[in-house]
Structure 1
Amino acid sequence: MIGVTTKTTAGTSLRLHGRDAELDAVAALSERLSAGLSGVLLVAGEPGRGRTALLDRAVRDFTAGTVLHTRAAPAERHLPHSGLHALLSSAPALAARVLRPAVGTDTGTGTYTGTAPGGLLGTGLPPTGLLDLLRHTGRTGDSGHTGHHRPLLVCVDDAHLWDPRSRAALGFAARRVDSVPAVGLLLSVAAHTAGAPDFAGLPVLHLAPLTGQAAGALLDDLTLGAVDPLVRGELLREAEGNPALLTALAGRLSTAQLSGHAPLPRPLADGPALARVVGGRLAELPSTTCELLLLMAAAHEYHPDGCGAEAAPVLRAAHAAGLDPDALDAAERAGVARAAGDRVRFDDPLVRRAVRRGAPPARLRAAHARLAAALDGERDRLAHLTHRALAADGTDAGLADGLAAAASDPGVRAEPLQRSLALARAADLTAEPRSRAARLTAAAEYARLGGRPRRAGQLLAAAREAAAGHDAVRGRAELVRGALALRDGPVGDAHEALLLAAALLDPYDPEGARGARFGAMEAAWAAGDIASCLAALDRKPAGPAPDDDDFRAGMLAALRGRFGQARGPLRRVLDRAGGDDDPVRLLRAGAAALVVGDIAAACRVNARALAAARARDIATLVPQALEHLAYAELRTGRHPRARAHAEEGLRTAHRSGQRNVVAHHHAVLALVASIEGDRAALTAHADEALAIAGPHGLVQAASLAEWARARADLGRGMALDAAARLGPLVRPGHRHGHFAVRMLMAPCFVEAAVLAGEGRDDAGTAVEEFADWASRGADPQAPAQLARCRALLAPPSEAEALYAYALTGHERAGGDFERARTLLLYGKWLRRRRRPREARGRLKDALYAFERSGATVWAEQTRAELRATGGTAARETAAPLAGLTPQQLRIARCVAEGATNREVALRLSISPRTVDHHLRNVFALLGVRSRVELSRLVAREETVTAG
């Protein structure tokens, strides 16, 4: 079913969740029928996705005419024409009226019997027969008179299970239904049959798994909202967006279990629950096929990424067990599993889980034993030992030691999740508490690296239960716990856990202690806490580590404001990165490049870190590397590249459960949207970033998101709003923004404050602080930006020279966007000095630079300035706005955006009285009587122009 509320506690009303698009498609079909047209829609989906519920809802909602509704009976699939018989039997009175001349009816009762010679159960109905019947039915009204085309909706659920002749007739009718007025066919099929010849060419609606929000809404309906948040998360994760499975899981829990007062059954989705949802796919398969599927499911355990298992060992194990490899053909025909190149895989993960969890433990262990025997103990050492361990019953110290050694061996090629599985299984075979806890902790670390934070948390909890009190084991556990919180939790908690880890590990694992302190510094950095950053780095761990020592010394000096001392060690870190392939060290080198102001190197090193993380399958580092790379690209002014990296980073961070990284990617995307002029995207990304940043203490992400909002205000000419947003983030005090972002925001604040005509004292203070920052050489754009800020505050006799100096600085530093902003401000200054010819040259240069940067909103502001000089720009506005003067047009656009007369005056540096005068003339010229009418006219004309 498809989000159907069936549990008694939630009522029995038919309710669908997360299927708005599908319901719209069905409604569109119904509307076609009501208009006298015809149509067809094929609904395809895996078991439990909700095909039946969608058709039931369509039947309930269709009131415009007659409905024929049936569901295929698998037991009748070999009986010729049984499907058509079931369809017409769903409306016996109608069938009797339509078919009385052609097929058998009981003349005494007037009901269809289907027993006449040549009837539907015979062999005489041609493939065109169903289409002919639909045509005749469509001409039949309620009274039996012909000529009235009353809409007819034909719904067939599980049409792929019809007998071949009925299926052929149904497909023929569906492909030619347009020849019959007011007839619609709504068919549902299993996903793997949507491309079958009988249904070829039909429009297909694929049912995807429910989103988390939709699944949550369904669960609330099923439980009346009375479910503990932790239990809710377990249910949603276990159901994987399958509404039928979610319904089954909620139904098997007691009230105490739902409320979190009683433990949940393990596994939550057991064999019977999964069989109720997907067991039909397995029920009719031959026993040899089921045995082969169990081998495949067992092999998949060593490949938890879901990409499939290696085919060769599975086939060797099958051959040794006397199974015919052709047994897989039946599974392929049933849409259960298939071979793809050198891999074998299940079409639906729920089916794989049903096969594995539905098998008795002894059979599953035997399958693992066969796989272990089919693997080369030397070449496939880790896989061989893992399957041997999964086949074992009870503890086995020798096997556990060998498996743990292989999983920890860097010379063994394996993914982090495979190492995690091996170490967890080794822990299961270990009786000694300390060794068991150490192996569970190591398994948790690899699960974290593999992008499975929830699994890592479960393994840490198991390690704690092992009751091992040794400081080295506790330190490793705190290191993993802190690393998890750093990516998905309050960074203050992460900072304390990592400092504790460092203290515990100092005597036993200097390298681990260094990593913990660097992680603690990163947590404090995200929180904007310089003192905690310094505290994390203050103690030098034992043991030689030149790269780490240089990074530590350089960051300590930079955080203390001693950039001269920081540059040497951080440069050495950056130089060594050229020959490194460790993604963690490369990410540190990328951070070092940003601190020394080498933005090009930051882009290069972070791109290398991304490649290294991907090459090593370290899923948890990929979104972090993308975040650092996106930020570096943003600093260069390459906004499209930054957006591409951040969008990919957002997807990978969501998949690996790293909400803190998600917040940072949203902040980067908000900054990109702030110059591209996409207000909806800006609002969405900024809101998402702040929603996570607030509770998790991410001051840096919050500062970036607020900067994005302010920069968008400034681009739209709303200087007063921009200054109000930036003031608290730039000014000294307890509410100031992040220490590493404050000075990057300062040029925007100075510009906003000056253009708003308020806060010149604050702007002057910010300029002086920014001058100190620019002198440190940490930002290649800073000298040019400083000259621009000083030009804004300078008297006319000095401003021009400062603008010229700023433009020279931009030429050295590169970056179209910042250079264009200086050109725009210079052009405005020239226009107000009544030097329109010179202003036009600067403004056109600014316009083209903004267009190269994708800065749409800034380009529009520049075009308005160009028009005010009497010049022309691309995409001039069409009539009737073309009849306005440049100043009138600027005022009209500002008013259309909702600005008051005072706000317009501030934006355009004119008096409110002048705005009022021009606005009255605009109303008269355009024939409008209100601001609302003016807004509509401007929006309409600009839409035409954009088109």
Structure 2
Amino acid sequence: MTLSTTVPRALRPPELHGRSEEIAAVESLVGGLRAGRGGVLVLTGQPGLGRTALVEYARAICDPVPSVRTVVPAALPHEGPLLVRIDDVHTWHPAARAALLAELRRLPAERPVAVLLTLAEHRSGAEELNGLTALRLSPLGDDAAVALLDGLTQHRADPVVGAWLIREAAGNPRLLTALVEALTPDQLAGRTPLPDPLPGGEDLLDDYAAHIDELPGDARSLLLLAAAAGEHEPDGAGADLALLLRAGGDPSGLAPAEAAGAVVGAGGRIHFTHPLLRRAVLRRTPIARRRATHARLAAVCRDHLSRLIQLACAAGDHDARLAGALADAATAPRPHAERSTALARAAELTADTALRTDRLADAAEAARLAGDPVRARALLARTAAVPAHGGVHRVRGLLALSDGPAADAREALLTAAVLLPPEPARHALIGAAEAAWAMGDVAAYQEAMARLPVCADDPSLESYRAGMCAVLAGRTAEGHALLRRCVDDVPTTGEPAALLRAGSAALVVGEVESACRAGARALAAVRAYGPEVLLPRALEHLAYGELRAGRHTRARAHALEGLRAAHRIGQPNVAVSLHAVLALAASVEGDAEACSAHAAAVAAGAGPHGLTQAATLAVWAVARADLAAGRPADAAARLAPLVAPGPRRGHFAVRMLAVPCFVEAAVRAGRTAEAQSATVEFTRWAGSTADRLAPAQLARCRALLAPPQQTAAAYENALAHHDRSPGEFERARTQLLYGQWLRRRRRTREARGPLRDALVGFDRCGARAWADRSRGELRAAGEAVAGEPGPGPLAALTPQQQRIARHVAEGATNREVAVRLSVSHRTVDHHLRNVFAALGIRSRVELSRLLAGDGGLPDRDVEIAAHL
């Protein structure tokens, strides 16, 4: 056996990204060896995924245990402890490899020899590894690929360049490294366009394609046709077998290609088992033969656009006629991804710089609409020679609207509007207005809408433009009339963008159900006809409408679907807005942990990108969760900056919606003057808004601030308003506050009615934490709540003492309990002394343990209480 002994003294393990599971397995193998136990670990995977790097990692960490490397077949050594490293065992003769694997299966655990071997996944059958511990290396995830890229470039790569490199590397660390090394500093920094195709990684592509070199000629020819056909197919769609056969492919070549693991045939299509394998087949083919193959496919393509794309691939130089034909064919109803491919090919064939830039900008816009922002930006990066191009600025601005700072998106779109003809300029200005809205900048929104030309050919858009301008200028009645016309003018099966606009108009005029219908129709239209880029936004609009309608469970379901779509398509700004919707839903449902997590996600994205609307919604959600948990002082502190005048105020379209929460929190926290000031402003807003909940919420705010002799009548007035408006959750909140006030005034018999109604209302809309508060108030009012467990060790206490005991056991201070129960601090002190006496305990810790032992308090809360 040829052994290379290496006993390193101070090797530094290589930095590995995204390999935590594999590193743990290697460390476990080496750790067992140090403890005198042997073992075997097999690492498999496609070429370039890091098998050898993991072997080097094992070598670096095995000190002081000796390590040897073998490169040729031989018997395993008997002495130990010893780590044996065998890399690329697939290069051995099959008989030698089979003998080694058989010996490894017989290796006793007490023999202090550990073996780490690797083999390429496509070189061996799965049966060879039976009985051995094996780990299959997968491609790197995006986060790990970004970390690797940052390390390779010292964080100097342009974001657009970096995203394209990561896309092209397909999670392969060796290929990503090769691509980076093949580019110049100017190309990496985005100062000069990237070459197309990207250079680098040729040896890796050779490794991918090497295992098909021994296939019969008819199989290799069929694979070349399949790889070339993929140039006009969407990613992952495979190649049409009938097309390949018409182009001269031999059907007998499919079976050996499948047996070699190169392709899979299904449903009349051929799919390569790895995208890099398809790329390798093309790159390793001489250019003349490759062009001839494309020409063969073009001759038999029955689809016009597919034939043109194959002709473009076969072309060797600029071809104005073919480029024009491609551009003319890249229109609806073709999917946007196909249009982007065709326009990009047309640009490659175009010699004129200005026309080439036009076509690249159109290709980038089609890629954006297809939900592929990485490709869109890569196409724009090829247009650096023409900086003052309206189409380029427009696409950049629309991309930034989904994943960049809103202010940058606005400026790019305003610049584009100056450079573009009227129709595309109109769409750029609408985008600029959307950016200003997200920022909470009223003046910027009005500026963009004012620059929008009168839309005589689109009455719905004109009604929306004029209506929003009138509302923001204070002409509320005029604006609402125009916006209602916008809602009415949109047909049932209108364009998704027009339907979303109608939904927004419906919310402004208080027609929440109309907003939900428009959102549902927009979602159906996007799913049926596209564009894919609007899917997350349609789900966001629908989820927010359902939230305003009080259907929190449905809002959460649509928001979660939208969040997945936003991450898949690459729209972090929309994801931030969806997190805000989810935080609001959680604040109603009583999931404080989820509310906090979603609000944190909003804060992480909203701050850097200037998304004031989402940030305001998230703060409101957390404050509402504070109110549900009985922390009014925290809620008031969060909301005060948003609802008060000043530079920190919340979004102009949202802040008034949060005022009723602030008034409730401020009154309960003793900040009465601030609550009165906010109510004055809310009164003015309620007089002009079409929000149907506003009159009832205003009446509730007045009841909270009313003198004692007028409070009951004020609450009855608020409930009368609720009878004329939707919103079961808000009605239940008013009933809860009314019941609390009655109980605090010792009118317990009267309090039970509104408290029961509040409990039913909260239960019906899934507001668990709020329902728990209602149950607690009912217990304090002397009424047992059906379906609740008995009080256990607290059975001897009064309902009020039980409530105080539970709050104290959860870790609340006496002052916090007083605020939660709307009683004085001295009342809590008095009751707590009686609780201790009745239960025969002497401390808060004993109380926590007593309730925990009865199952009434989680262990985590016991630990918290014990430290207070």
TM-score, normalised relative to structure 2: 0.85
Could you say which residue in structure 2 is the equivalent of 1:386?
309
Over 3 Å counting, the alpha-carbon distance change for 1:374 and 1:720 in structure 2 is same
Name the CA shift for 1:571/1:254 in 2 (closer, same or farther; >3 Å): closer
Relative distance call for 1:75 and 1:485 in structure 2 (3 A) is: closer
Question: Aligned pair in 2 of structure 1 residues 20, 169: CA closer, same or farther (>3 Å)?
Answer: closer
The 3 A distance-change label for structure 1 pair 857 and 925 is same
Read off the aligned partner of 1:332 and give its amino acid letter.
E
Distance 2:845 2:55 in 1: 45
1:86 is the counterpart of 2:100 = yes
**Structure 2 match to 1:419:** 339
Match of 1:862 among 767, 774, 799: 774
In structure 2, the residue corresponding to 1:465 is in which secondary structure? coil
**Which residue pairs with 1:343 in the alignment?**
269
Deviation at 1:625, TM superposition (A): 1.0
Asked whether 1:852 is paired with 2:764, we answer yes
Match of 1:831 among 714, 730, 743: 743
Structure 2 distance, partners of 1:923, 1:217, is 57
**What's the offset of the Cα at 1:926?**
6.7
Counterparts of 1:343 and 1:163 in 2: how far apart (Å)? 25
Write the letter of the residue equivalent to 2:396: R
**CA positional deviation for 1:729:** 0.7
- Answering whether residue 550 of structure 2 is matched by residue 536 of structure 1, we say no
Cα distance, 1:252 vs. partner?
5.4
1:445–1:768 CA distance, 2 compared to 1 (3 A)? same
| Alignment match, 2:435 | 523
Could you tell me whether the CA contact under 8 Å between 2:703 and 2:714 is conserved in 1? Answer: yes
Query: AA paired with 1:825?
Result: L
> C-alpha root-mean-square deviation of aligned residues, in Å?
3.9
> How do residues 572-611 of structure 1 correspond to structure 2 at under 5 angstroms?
572-611=485-524
Q: 1:661–1:168: structure 2 CA closer, same or farther, 3 Å change rule?
A: closer
Amino acid at match of 1:401: G
The answer to whether the aligner puts 1:483 opposite 2:423 as a matched pair is no
- Verify: 1:242 aligned to 2:258, yes or no: no
Check the 8 A contact 1:478/1:497 in 2, yes or no.
yes
Tell me, yes or no, if the aligned pair for 1:836 and 1:869 is still in contact at 8 Å.
Answer: yes
Which among 641, 647, 654 is matched to residue 567 of structure 2? 654
User: CA separation of 1:351/1:569 partners in 2, compared to 1, >3 Å: closer, same or farther?
Assistant: same
Alignment-derived partner of residue 289 in structure 1: 219
Give the Cα–Cα distance (whole angstroms) in 2 for the partners of residues 691 and 716 of structure 1. Answer: 24
Greater Cα offset, 217-226 or 415-424: 217-226
1:761 aligns with 2:673: yes
Q: How does 1:124-203 map to 2 (within 5 A)?
A: 133=106, 137=108, 157-158=118-119, 171=130, 174=131, 185-188=132-135
Question: Which residues in structure 2 correspond to 1:530-679 (within 5 Å)?
Answer: 530-539=442-451, 541=453, 544-545=456-457, 546-679=459-592
Distance 1:382 1:728, change over 3 A: same
Tell me the residue number matched to 1:74: 90
1:806 to 694, 709, 718: 718
Q: Distance in 1 between matches of 2:397 and 2:436?
A: 12
Q: Hey, what does 1:404 align to over in structure 2?
A: 327
Partners of 1:859 and 1:262 in 2: CA distance = 61
2:419 to 504, 523, 539: 504
Give the conservation status (yes or no) of the 8 Å contact 1:346–1:352: yes
Mean Cα displacement is larger for which, 922-931 or 399-408? Answer: 922-931
State the 1:423 CA deviation: 1.4
| 2-structure distance, mates of 1:68, 1:517 | 66
Paired position in structure 1 for 2:694: 782
Q: Deviations along 1:158-184, whole A, 9 cap, x unmatched? A: 4978988xx76863xx3xxxxxxxxxx
Q: Deviations over 1:76-95 (max 9, x none)?
A: 5643xx445214667xxxxx
Alpha carbons 1:757, 1:906 under 8 Å: kept:
no
1:404 aligned partner, one-letter code = A
| Contact kept in structure 1, 2:643 and 2:650, CA below 8 Å | yes
Please give the alpha-carbon distance, in whole angstroms, between the structure 2 residues aligned to 1:484 and 1:899.
Answer: 48
C-alpha distance in 1 between matches for 2:725 and 2:446: 31
C-alpha distance in structure 1 between counterparts of 2:100 and 2:715, whole Å: 83
- After superposition, the C-alpha distances for 1:475-497 in whole angstroms (9 at most, x for unaligned) are 33332232222222222222233
Instruction: Give distance in 1, aligned partners of 2:687 and 2:291.
Output: 68
TM-score w.r.t. the length of structure 1 is: 0.79
Between 888-897 and 338-347, report the one with greater CA deviation.
888-897
Q: Which shows bigger deviation, 229-238 or 304-313?
A: 229-238
Amino acid at match of 1:299: A
User: Aligned match of 2:140 in 187, 195, 210?
Assistant: 210
Q: Which residue of 2 aligns with 1:449?
A: 369
**CA–CA separation in structure 1 for the residues paired with 2:284 and 2:183:** 19
Residues 407, 249 of structure 1: alpha-carbon distance in 2 compared, 3 angstrom cutoff: closer
Counterparts of 2:841 and 2:245 in 1: how far apart (Å)?
Answer: 79
The answer on whether the counterparts of 1:443 and 1:459 sit within 8 Å (CA) in structure 2 is yes
- The alpha-carbon distance between structure 1 residues 798 and 313, as it changes in their structure 2 partners (threshold 3 A), is farther
For the residues of structure 2 that align with 1:551 and 1:635, how far apart are their CA atoms?
21
Residues 36 and 81 in structure 2, CA contact (< 8 A), matched pair in contact too: no
Residue pair 2:540, 2:562 contacting (<8 A) in 1 also: yes
Of residues 783, 791, 815, the one that matches 2:703 is 791
Closer, same or farther in 2 for the Cα pair 1:426/1:69, shift >3 Å? closer
* Unaligned 5+ runs, structure 1: 1-9, 91-129, 143-151, 175-184, 190-206
Q: Which amino acid aligns with 1:691?
A: A
Partner residue of 1:458?
A: 378
Q: Residues 220 and 832 from structure 1, CA distance in 2 versus in 1: closer, same or farther, beyond 3 angstroms?
A: same
User: How far off is 1:276 after superposition?
Assistant: 6.1
Q: How far off is 1:784 after superposition?
A: 1.9
How far apart in 1 are the matches of 2:857 and 2:50? 40
| Alignment CA distance shift 1:461-1:878 (3 Å) | same
- Residues in 2 aligned to 1:767 and 1:860: alpha-carbon distance in whole angstroms: 28
Q: CA offsets, 1:55-90, max 9 Å, x none?
A: 8878978999998876673355643xx445214667
Distance change (3 Å), C-alpha of 1:249 and 1:494: closer
Asked if 2 retains the 8 angstrom alpha-carbon contact of 1:436 and 1:466, the reply is: no
How many residue pairs match? The answer is 832
Q: How does 1:224-303 map to 2 (within 5 A)?
A: 232-249=162-179, 267-268=197-198, 270-272=200-202, 274-275=204-205, 278-279=208-209, 281-303=211-233
Post-superposition offset of 1:391? 1.8
Q: 1:384 to 1:809 in 2, by over 3 A?
A: farther
| CA-CA distance at 1:679 after TM superposition | 3.3
Residue number in structure 2 paired with 1:181: none
Partner of 1:182: none
Q: Deviations over 1:834-858 (max 9, x none)?
A: 2333433332332233233232222
Q: Is the 8 A contact 1:877 1:942 kept in 2?
A: no
What is the Cα deviation at residue 598 of structure 1?
Answer: 1.0
1: distance between equivalents of 2:33 and 2:766? 46
Q: Contact between 1:627 and 1:664, CA under 8 Å: does it hold in 2? A: yes
Over 3 Å counting, the alpha-carbon distance change for 1:782 and 1:254 in structure 2 is same
1-side partners of 2:839 and 2:244: how far apart?
Answer: 77
- How far does residue 695 in structure 1 lie from its aligned partner after superposition? 2.2
Name the aligned partner's letter for residue 13 of structure 1.
P
Q: Distance in 1 between matches of 2:694 and 2:838?
A: 46
Matched, 1:363 2:282: no
CA–CA distance in 2 between the matches of 1:442 and 1:406?
13
Equivalent position to 2:754, from 823, 836, 842: 842
Residues 364, 377 of structure 2: 8 Å contact kept = yes
Q: Are residue 308 (structure 1) and residue 238 (structure 2) matched?
A: yes
Q: Which residue of 2 aligns with 1:904?
A: 817
Structure 1 letter corresponding to 2:556: R
